[in-house]
Structure 1
Amino acid sequence: PLKKIIIFLVIIILLPVIVFSIFEISSLNNTERVIQSVYTKQLDAILFSVNQLSEDITNGWINKTEQATFPELNKDSQDLKWLFDETPIFTIAYLDSIGDKKAEVIIKKDSLLVQQEYSEENLREDIRQLTINNFDVLKRLFVYKQNNYRKITPVKSNRYNDATVLFFLSADSANNKVYALYFNSEKFVMNILAPKLQEIAENEFVLSVFDKKQNKRIYSTERSDTVITRQQKNLWLIPEYSLGITLKGSSIEDVIQSRITFTFIIIAVLVVVLIAAGILLIRNINNEVKLAQIKADFLSNVSHELRTPLALISMFAETLEMDRVKTDEKKKEYYKIISQETARLSKIVNKILNFSKMEAGKIKYNFEQCNLNEILLDISNVYSFHLKNNGFTFSIEYAEEKLLLNADKESISEAIINLIDNAVKYSKEKKEVKIKTGVEKEVGFVQVQDFGIGISKEEQTKIFEKFYRVSTGNVHNTKGTGLGLALVKHIVAAHNGRIEINSQSGKGSTFKLLFPLINENIGVNNV
C-alpha cells in the first residue's frame, strides 16, 4: 500500500509540472522561430543594400583600372593616382591570360608597403597561387563575358590576412587580360561601408561587421562591445567578413531569453517545492506507517509480557485453591512464584505508566542528596539472588569515595534496574553481569556490562527511541516493551547527565550513566 501511495503522489506532483513545462517550452520555441524569421528577412534586405553599394563601388574601381592600363599601362594616369589615394586599393596586377605565369604588378607608393613582404616577387607568387587554387572559378569569368556580363569574383589573399583580391576580366572583347585588385578589407568597411550602415541603422538597429576567421568585431554602429549579435550573414565582397543585426537596447531576443530564464526558474522552484513537499509527505506517511507497526509490535510484546505472569499466577493460584498441593514446601514454592510474577507484572505496569507520564510531561522528580553507591547496594540486595538463581555471575565494584548526587533516588534506581534487566534478557551463552561505580573527570558514573548479543553501530543511535527494538540478530526471540531505554534516557536527561554506550554485535554491551556530583564545598559539578 505504501508503494502505491508513493507512486500516486509522484504522479500527482510531477504530471502538472511536466505538462506546464512542455507547454511553456513549446510556446517559447514558436516565438523564437518567429523572431528569427523576422530578423533574417530584415538582415537579407540590409545585406542586399550593402552588397549593391559594394558592387557599385567596385564597378567604379574596375572602370578606373582599365582606363589606367588599357591599351597600355600609364603609370602617370590620374585614374591610377585616384585609385591609390582615394580607395583602399594598394596593388593592381594583371595577367595576359589565366595561364600567364608572370603578372604585371603596380604597387602603391607607401612606406609601409615597400617592405619585403609586399615586394613584386611576393605579390606575383600570391597571384600565381590564387589562380591555381581558383582556376575553375576564374574560367567561369570567361563564360560570363561571352554572355556580355562582366562578373567580379572576390577571393581572400593567401599571403596577406588583411587583403581581399578582386578578379575580373577586361571589358574589351579582343582583350583577355585577367585583373587582380588588392584592397585592405578593414579599410573598405571603415571608410566605405560604415556611413551606409550608420544610415540604415538609425536609432533602430545595431549593425556590426565581424571577421569570422579572427573572431573579432571590425565595426559596429554602436560603440558598446557588450552588444550580442546572433543573426549574421556573409558579405559578398569580403567573404571572410559577416554582417550582423540586432535591435538597439533590449532586443526581442533578450526579452525572449529573459522570459525563458524566468520561466525555467519558476519551473525549477515549483519542481523543487513540489518534490520537497512530496518527500516530506512521503516521509511523514512512511514514519506514520512505521510508527503504526511499532505500536502494533509494542501491543503484541506488552500483551505477551502481561499474559505470561498472569497465566502463571492464575495457574498456581488455582492449584492452591483446589488444594491439590499436599506438602507445605511445595505450597511455599508456589506462593513464591506467584509473588515473583506479581512483582514482574507490577514492574511492567509501572514502566508503562511511567512512560505515559513521560510522554505527557507529568513525571515529577523528588531531588535530594543521595549516594550512588547506596542506591546500587539496595538494588544488589534485591536482585543478586534473582540473578544467581537464573544462572548469572553477578559482581559489583564500588567506588571508594562517596558518589553524592542531587537526584531522585527511585528514578535513578529504575534506570539502573532497566539496564540490568536488558543485560539479563539479551545474554545468551555467557551469563555474566558486571556493575561498577566510579568517578571520571569529577563526574560520577555507574556502569552495567553484559556479554550478550551486543548492538551494531548503526542501531546504537536509535535504541533510545520509544518503542524501538533492534531489528537484526535474534533480539526478537526475546520479548520486551521497547520502553526501557527511552525511560533511562529521560531520567538521565532530567538529572543533567549523559549516557555512553560501548557495544559490538556478538560481544556484549556496556552502558555507562554519568551524573554530576555534589561537591560539599563548591556545589554541583557539570557533566
Structure 2
Amino acid sequence: MEAKNFYGKFAGLIRERIFLVGLLCVFLPLLSLLLVQFQSLSLMQRKSVQANNLLLQSCLESVAAETNYIYRLESEKILNLPVSALKDENSAAAHFERHKWNGAQVYFTYSNDGKAIRFFPTQIDANLSDAVKRAFYGRENEANLNNLTVVESDPNRRFIFKFLADNNGNTAGAVGFVLNNDFFVKEILPSIVKEKRAAFFPGEYGETVIVTVLDGKNRLISADQPVSGIDENVSVPLRFVFMDWHLQAQNTVVSQSDWSRKIFRNNILISCLLAAFLALALIIALRAANRQMKLSQIKSDFVANISHELRTPLTSIRVFGELLSAGWIKDEEKLRETGTQIESETRRLTYLIDNLLDYSQIEAGKKQYHFERGDLRETIAATIQSLEPQLSRKGYQLDFEADKESSAEISFDREGVRQVLINLIDNAVKYSPENKRILISFSENYGKAVIRVRDWGIGIPQSEQKKIFEKFHRIGNNLTHDVKGSGLGLAIVSQIVAAHHGRIEVKSSPHKGSTFSIYLPAGKNGNGR
C-alpha cells in the first residue's frame, strides 16, 4: 500500500511538473549541441580555407558544366541537318536560319560528291574561309559519324562540326559552324557565372567572389581583375569548347576567421530558433493535453454527479412508494406528507431532466424560444411561489422585492426566465448551508429590466468567477467539495440570457455570499425582436 501511495504521489508530481520536465528534455540536448559547436570553432577555422576552396571549385565546376551543356545542346540543334540538304543549298540555308544562334558566326556544309565547302552566309571573311578549309580538309578520313568534333587549333577561329552518314552508313559529308568568341565572353559566360555565384554564394557572399577566365598563357580573357594569391586560387578548365581556357575564382573579402564566425553565428541562430519553435510546440501540446485531461476529468465528474443527482430523488420516490404499497403508512396526515415528498422529489427529478434536455438542445442549436410580451414580475413571483413549499421544509427563506414603479411589461420567454430563476435559486440553496436566506429582487435601470438573486453563502473566489458559466465547470475547493451538481445550471442560464439579448453578472466574495444580476432589454420592443 505504501509503495502504491508513493507511486501515486510521484506520478502526480510528474504531472504537475510536466512542463519543466519537457523543457529540460528539449533544452539540455540543444545546450549540449551548442557547447560542442563552440568547442569545434577552432577546428572550423582551420578547415574553413579548404571548405571555401571546395565551394569555389564546385561553383566553377558548375559553370563549366553549364557551358558544356549549352554548347552541346545548341550544336545538336544546329548540326541536325538532313543528309539531303548537303546537296541542296536552299534547304541548308533554311535549316540554319531556323536554328540561328548568336553563339555561331558562320555555318558551313561539306559534301563528298562536290568536295567543296559551302558557307552560310556565303559572303565571309577570306581569312576565316581559308582557316576553316585548312582545318577541315584532311579530316575526311577521320570520320566519326554523328559525333561532335571540336577544332580549336586557331583560338580565334574555333569551330564544331559533325560528319553525316548516308543511307548505306557511309560518310556523305559534314556540317558545322564557327564559334563566336565574343558572344561567349560577353553574354553566355557572365550570365552563367552570375547564376551559379548566386546559387553557391547567396546574399552578400556572392559580392566577394571574383570569377575570371584566363587563356593557356594565363592572359586575362574576362573579369575586372585577375585573381591574385596562389594559395587561395581555385582553377577549373573548360572541357568541351574553349578547352585551352580555364576559370579561376577567389574570395577576396571574407577571411577564414570571419567565415567560420559567420557559420557559427548562423548555427547558433538556427539552434535558438529551433529551441524556441520546439518550446512553443511543447507549450501548445502540453496545454492541449492539460485541457484534454481537465475535460476528461470534468466529464467524469459530470457523470458521477449527475448519476448521484438522479439517483437521490429516484431512491426517495422508490422508498416512499414501497412504504405506501406495503400499507405501513396508515395515518392520513402521514399519507399527505408522503405524497408531498413524492411530488417534491418528482419535481426535482423533472428539473434535472429538463436541464439535461435543454442543454442538449442548446448545444445542437435546436433550442426554440417563444417570446411574448408580459408581466415579468408575475412570472418571477409565480416561480418563487412554486419553490417556496419545498424550500421552506429545508429551512430556506425566499424573499421577493420588486420596485412597483418599474415597468414589468417586456417581451420574454416565460419558460426560459422561469428556468433561469430555478437554476439560480437552486445554486444559492446548494452553496448556502448556514445562512438560509435568499433574496430575489426586480427593478428597472436605464432601460433594462434587472433581476437579482442574492445569497449569503460560501461565495465564489475571484479566480473562478469568469469560469462558472462554462459547461461542466464546478468550483473545486474545500468549501464546495461535498456539494453535488451537474455543472450545467449556470451554463444554461448564460445561454438563455444571451438568447434574450441580455447579460449576466456576478459579484461575490468568499464567506460573504453571491449576487447574480440579469439585465434584460426593457424597451418598447422587449428583447429587440
TM-score grouping bracket, smaller chain normalisation: 0.5 to 0.7
Pair 1:260-2:264 in alignment: yes
Q: CA deviation at 1:281?
A: 1.0
Q: Equivalent residue for 1:214?
A: none
> For residues 404 and 30 of structure 1, what CA distance do their matches in structure 2 show?
87
Hey, what's the Cα distance between the residues in 1 that align with 2:497 and 2:361? Answer: 16
> Which of 37, 44, 47 is residue 31 of structure 1 equivalent to?
44
Match of 2:107 in 1: none
Q: 1:363 aligns to what?
A: 367
Render the CA deviation track for 1:227-267: whole Å, top value 9, x for unaligned. xxxxxxxxxxxxxxxxxxxx853333333333222222211
User: What's the counterpart of residue 134 of structure 2?
Assistant: none
Q: Which residue of the partner structure matches residue 460 of structure 1?
A: 465
Instruction: Indicate whether 1:495 and 2:500 are aligned.
Output: yes
Residue-by-residue CA offset, 1:10-30 (whole Å, 9 max, x unaligned): 566446644554454444442
SS at match of 2:481: helix
> Which letter maps to 2:460?
I
Once the 2 structures are TM-superposed, how far is the Cα of residue 35 of structure 1 from its aligned partner?
6.1
The yes-or-no answer on 1:293 pairing with 2:297 is yes
Aligned partners of 2:258, 2:501: CA distance in 1, in Å? 63
Instruction: Give the length in aligned residue pairs.
Output: 323
1:373–1:402 contact (8 Å) kept in structure 2: no
Of 433, 438, 441, the residue aligned with 1:433 is 438
Show the counterpart of 1:278.
282
| Equivalent-residue separation in structure 2 for 1:441 and 1:481 (angstroms) | 35
Q: Which runs of 5+ in 2 are unaligned?
A: 1-10, 51-225, 230-250
Partner of 1:326: 330
Structure 1 counterpart of 2:43, one-letter code: N
Correspondence 1:357-436 to 2 at 5 A: 357-400=361-404, 401-436=406-441
In 2, distance between residues paired with 1:257 and 1:286?
42
Whole-angstrom distance in 2 between the partners of 1:490 and 1:252: 69
Matched, 1:310 2:314: yes
Structure 2 contact 448–523 (Cα < 8 Å) conserved? no
Of stretches 325-334 and 415-424 in structure 1, the one that deviates more from structure 2 is 325-334
Note the 1:221-236 alignment, pairs <5 A: none
Q: Which residue of 335, 354, 357 corresponds with 1:353?
A: 357
TM superposition shift of 1:356: 2.2
- Paired-residue identity, %: 36
- Cα deviation code 1:90-119 (max 9, x no counterpart): xxxxxxxxxxxxxxxxxxxxxxxxxxxxxx
Pair member with larger Rg? 1
The separation in 1 between residues aligned to 2:469 and 2:317, in whole angstroms, is: 32
Report the AA paired with residue 32 of structure 1.
Answer: Q
- Secondary structure of 1:518's aligned partner: coil
Cα separation, 2, equivalents of 1:8 and 1:456: 31
Query: Where does residue 342 of structure 2 map in the other structure?
Result: 338
Structure 1: unaligned runs, 5 residues or longer: 38-201, 206-246
Counterpart residue type for residue 467 of structure 1: F
Change (3 A) 1:204 1:503: farther
Give 3-state SS (helix, strand or coil) of 1:519's partner.
coil
Partner of 1:190: none
Distance change (3 Å), C-alpha of 1:22 and 1:406: farther
Paired residue secondary structure (2:471)? coil
The residue type paired with residue 365 of structure 1 is Y
2:98 aligned partner = none
Shift in alpha-carbon separation, 1:35–1:358, aligned structure 2, 3 A: same
Counterpart of 2:483? 478
**Alpha-carbon distance in 2 for matches of 1:398, 1:204:** 100
Deviations along 1:176-211, one digit per CA (max 9) or x if unpaired, are xxxxxxxxxxxxxxxxxxxxxxxxxx9979xxxxxx
Deviation of the 1:315 alpha carbon: 0.7
For the 8 Å contact 1:443–1:525, the answer to whether it is kept is no
Q: How does 1:88-237 map to 2 (within 5 A)?
A: none
Q: Cα RMSD between the aligned structures? A: 3.2
* Counterpart for residue 83 of structure 1: none
Shift of 1:283: 1.3
Deviates more, 1:286-295 or 1:26-35: 26-35
Equivalents in 2 of 1:392, 1:7: separation in Å?
49
- Aligned amino acid, residue 333 of structure 1: E
> Shift of the alpha carbon at 1:423?
1.1
Shift of 1:368: 2.8
TM-score (norm 2): 0.56
